[in-house]
Structure 1
């Protein structure tokens, strides 16, 4: 993971060695009244990794910001979506000497 992010392997180990390790699983069954479903406001995930499995392609809850526009993430069948959270993005950018605004990510 460190290599694909352009980070030093030692740095990524330090990033997580003193922190809390948590594993949480959520399941959201299909809503019988989809017109009543409410989503979240735009946000970024502060965690290290989020692993998402969308069971059907017709349920598109996840969106990414690309070129200033929100676009749906269409899942591949039987595939996980791996989302890199803020903690890794910030560490990667800081190691490259760049400044960032998390709101713009």
Structure 2
């Protein structure tokens, strides 16, 4: 591990280790209400995670540690995007349901 091309003496090891902080921050956002999540930020995290996961298997030396952290970053982003979409859908359904209730009362 010490003399490996992706070992402890290289950025190929330390960059993914530090990137886990972004994944942990994303996981901690699971506790935040969906209305406080940013669609663009989570979209960027998802795209970054998925694109770099693929790239990690193309570059040499192949960096499985970096691919793993990027895969989980993409997963966290997808989950957050799903939460945002469900929240926005429920808001639209609530608005349309309230509009129908008002029409029924006035008739």
TM-score by length of 1: 0.29
> Higher helix proportion, which one?
2
Of structures 1 and 2, the one with the larger relative CO (CA 8 A, separation 6+) is: 2
> Higher strand proportion, which one?
1
TM-score by length of 2: 0.29
| Higher CA-based Rg | 2
